[in-house]
Amino acid sequence: MGYFLQQLINGLALGMIYGLIAIGYTMVYGIVGMINFAHGEIFMIGAFISIITFLVLGLVGVGWVPLALLIVLVATMLLTSVYGWALERVAYRPLRGSPRLAALITAIGMSIFLQNYVQLLQGARNKPLQPVITGGARFLEGGDFTVTLSYLQMLIILVTIGLMVGFTMLINRTALGRAQRACQQDLGMAALVGIDVDRTISLTFVMGASLASVAGLMFLLNYGVIDFYIGFLAGVKAFTAAVLGGIGSVPGAMLGGLLIGLIEAFWSAYFTVEYKDVAAFAILVLVLIFRPTGLLGKPEVEKV
Amino acid sequence: MSPPQPALLTVEHLTMRFGGLVAIDDVSFEAPRAKITAIIGPNGAGKTTVFNCLTGFYKPTAGRLALRHPQRGECLLERMEGHAIPATAGVARTFQNIRLFPGMSVLENLLIAQHNVLMRASGYTIGALLGLGRYAAAEQRAIKRARYWLDRVGLVDRADWNAGNLPYGDQRRLEIVRAMCIEPVLLCLDEPAAGLNPRESAELNALLSFIRDEHKVTLLLIEHDMSVVMEISDHVVVLDYGRKIADGTPDAIRNDPAVIRAYLGEPEEEARP
């Protein structure tokens, strides 16, 4: 029982990170109909900006952890957004309206480019960060297994829930969110009611990138070590999460992320750790075969 | 009599070529302010192409599309970006095959048309997230305007319906009032009466006259239904094979030999067995 509970907590925290990245995939797909395979790299860049900001803060002597975390959070969201914006502006906007394959290949190209860019600037070695947040709450002490909910996991869960609530409000309640939903349905018509489609798409990339950067920060805090290659696996898993939840659906991406996180945690706990990635990707295959629209996705109706 | 006002829209020497195909060949006409101008002509005459040039879907090969906006001065539509044509020049349009946002509610379809006003009021979204009062007030005004138009077309009860689930005639009317929520000075309607029964057609005439008379909006209308054209339009432009063949009041057009020839063919050809 204690062991199960512990895996549930671990899985949730991990799933939240995947969910944050998956939102970026699903939103971009919803509006421009392309899979932004460079999104995993944006997540990786967010993690790098976080570690650099931590080191700078350490040099300057900002020692109070909550303040340092806040500064890092804001810095990584802002700077990573610039990367997301530039990615769209430089690589994708000129290709809008060209065949999907061209956009897909460009996305893969940008992914390789960003990986090498970070490798060149930061080196290929692992970058460790000493634990920033330590300790946690313990439950079921004295039983056969002591469950620990670390303060870090609490932080991940709380920040993610906060961001998702804010983000859902943005999509459903604000003029910008309404414009995004309109663009998702009919780009041409959205322009005809006066929506600046280019700006709406740019803002979508900016939002996706800032959420991914938070995921990058959480990943860094959680694992304590990053390298230029982390974006690949995390990106592909988040993509799996987006497909599992139903690509194009924001609540689906959150749900898919949680499920992938839980599957991974339980698989590693009860079966073999080595095969946890296989488990996650087997899910992708099964979903694509039996329910291609995902859990919350709507079947695409052919327009006549 | 007051001196004649300059026309709201002046189209001069509009030409649109697609490769070797000349869809519109040197067409000039004017749309007088707060009047209904109908563009008619046989299929393939280039009517919808004129609309596509006006609303930024196509960049014309040649020609000048000048719109004299009462507040913002002269706008040259052929030089404007797609979304600036509705947002800055105040040109709205509807489609032959209806293009609502089917997955959004009826009310949201009308709110989305007021996007730019709301976006400014929301402090570009940041204010809206913080729940500032200014955005809430702007949203209330937008809902009020939407309600006014829903009242006009009798759709208030269905404001929460998905737009895609409305009956066909209601979708047509919703598309027209959505265009009105942009607060346009020029409203381009592409076959608004297509697929409507006679009663719905009459309601449509009443709605269009109301928009012209009460809101002083200039209407440009592509229509095949002659009962609509002859009854409500003030001015008719006839196109055939991309050229303008006639231009005048409905009565003058009805008796124009060139128009009769275009619609019914040459009399001597018809006499042959």
Is pLDDT above 80 for A239? yes
Distance (Å, rounded) from C-alpha A161 to C-alpha B216? 50
Distance (Å, rounded) from C-alpha B181 to C-alpha B153? 13
The secondary element (H helix, E strand) that includes residue B187 is strand B186-190
User: Tell me: the pLDDT tens digits for B119-172?
Assistant: 877 766 665 566 666 777 888 888 888 899 998 888 888 888 888 888 888 888
Burial class (CB in 10 A: 0-12, 13-18, 19+), B269: exposed
Chain B nearest C-alpha distance from A130 (Å): 35
Chain B nearest C-alpha distance from A181 (Å): 8
pLDDT, mean of residues A101-128: 92
* Dihedrals phi, psi of B272, to nearest 5 degrees: -70, 150
Q: How many helices (H) and strands (E) does chain A have?
A: 11, 4
User: Tell me: the pLDDT tens digits for A134-152?
Assistant: 887 887 777 777 888 889 9
Q: Which of B125, B128, B101 is nearest to B113 (CA)?
A: B101
Q: For position A303, what pLDDT does the model report?
A: 44
- Whether residue A299 lies inside any domain: the answer is no
User: Tell me: the pLDDT tens digits for B164-201?
Assistant: 888 888 888 899 999 999 888 999 999 888 888 888 88
Least confident of A156-170, A283-297, B109-123, B129-143: B129-143
Partnered with residue B36 across adjacent β-strands are B219
Q: Do B113 and A189 touch (CB under 8 A)?
A: no
Chain B nearest C-alpha distance from A179 (Å): 7
Q: For position A301, what pLDDT does the model report?
A: 52
Helix H, strand E, coil C: the string for B134-180 is HHHHHHHHHHHHHHHHHHHCCCHHHCCCEHHHCCHHHHHHHHHHHHH
pLDDT, mean of residues A151-175: 89
- For A95, residues 6+ apart whose C-beta sits below 8 A from its C-beta are A102, A103, A106
Q: For position B2, what pLDDT does the model report?
A: 52
- Higher-confidence residue of A62 and A157: namely A157
- For A48, residues 6+ apart whose C-beta sits below 8 A from its C-beta are A118, A122, A127, A216, A226, A228
- Which CATH number characterizes residue A249's domain? 1.10.3470
Q: Do B115 and A192 touch (CB under 8 A)?
A: no
Q: For position A161, what pLDDT does the model report?
A: 92
pLDDT, mean of residues A106-129: 92
Where do the CATH 3.40.50.300 domains begin and end in chain B?
Answer: 9-90+183-271
A304 at B interface, C-beta within 8 A: no
pTM for the structure as a whole = 0.86
Taking CA atoms, what residue in A is nearest to B119?
A: A175
Chain A nearest C-alpha distance from B120 (Å): 9
Which amino acid would we find at residue A239? Answer: F
Q: Is B23 helix (H, G, I), strand (E, B) or coil?
A: strand
Taking CA atoms, what residue in A is nearest to B115?
A: A175
Is pLDDT above 90 for A219? yes
User: Tell me: the pLDDT tens digits for B220-269?
Assistant: 999 887 778 888 889 999 888 888 888 888 888 888 888 888 877 766 55
Q: For position A79, what pLDDT does the model report?
A: 96
Chain A nearest C-alpha distance from B4 (Å): 31
Q: For position A19, what pLDDT does the model report?
A: 94
- Whether residue A295 lies inside any domain: the answer is no
The two tokens of residue A60 are 């300057």
User: Tell me: the pLDDT tens digits for A80-96?
Assistant: 999 999 999 999 999 98
pLDDT, mean of residues A262-291: 87
- For A76, residues 6+ apart whose C-beta sits below 8 A from its C-beta are A46, A49, A50, A53, A213, A214, A216, A217
Q: What is the mean pLDDT of chain A?
A: 89
Q: Yes or no: say if A204 and A26 are a contact pair by the CB < 8 Å rule.
A: no
Q: For position A304, what pLDDT does the model report?
A: 42
Chain A hits for B98, CB-CB cut-off 8 Å, are none
Taking CA atoms, what residue in A is nearest to B103?
A: A185
To test the contact with chain A by mutation, choose from B101, B104, B135, B189 the residue with the greatest count of A C-beta atoms within 10 A, namely B101
Q: Reply yes or no on domain B9-90+183-271 having CATH 3.40.50.10440.
A: no
Which amino acid would we find at residue A200? Answer: T
The two tokens of residue A61 are 């002597």
What band does A260 get if pLDDT is binned at 50, 70 and 90?
very high
Q: For position B133, what pLDDT does the model report?
A: 67
Which amino acid would we find at residue A85? Answer: W
What band does A115 get if pLDDT is binned at 50, 70 and 90?
very high
ipTM exceeding 0.85, yes/no = no
Domain containing residue A101: 2-290
pLDDT, mean of residues A210-235: 93
The two tokens of residue A248 are 């194009």
Q: Is A65 helix (H, G, I), strand (E, B) or coil?
A: helix
Per the structure, the count of domains in chain A is 1
What percent of chain B lies above the pLDDT cut of 90?
A: 6
Q: Which of A166, A175, A192 sits opposite B118 (nearest CB)?
A: A175
Q: What is the mean pLDDT of chain B?
A: 84
Instruction: Supply the DSSP string of B94-117, one letter for each residue.
Output: --SS----TTSBHHHHHHHTTHHH
What band does A194 get if pLDDT is binned at 50, 70 and 90?
confident
Instruction: Supply the DSSP string of A133-176, one letter for each residue.
Output: S--EEEESTTSSS-EEEEHHHHHHHHHHHHHHHHHHHHHHHSHH
Q: Which of B86, B128, B129 sits opposite A194 (nearest CB)?
A: B86
Greatest extent of chain A over all pairs of C-alpha atoms, in Å: 66
Q: For position B1, what pLDDT does the model report?
A: 46
The two tokens of residue B263 are 């619609």
- Whether residue A239 lies inside any domain: the answer is yes
Distance (Å, rounded) from C-alpha B110 to C-alpha B139? 12
Q: For position B74, what pLDDT does the model report?
A: 84
Q: Which of B242, B173, B161, B244 is nearest to B206 (CA)?
A: B173
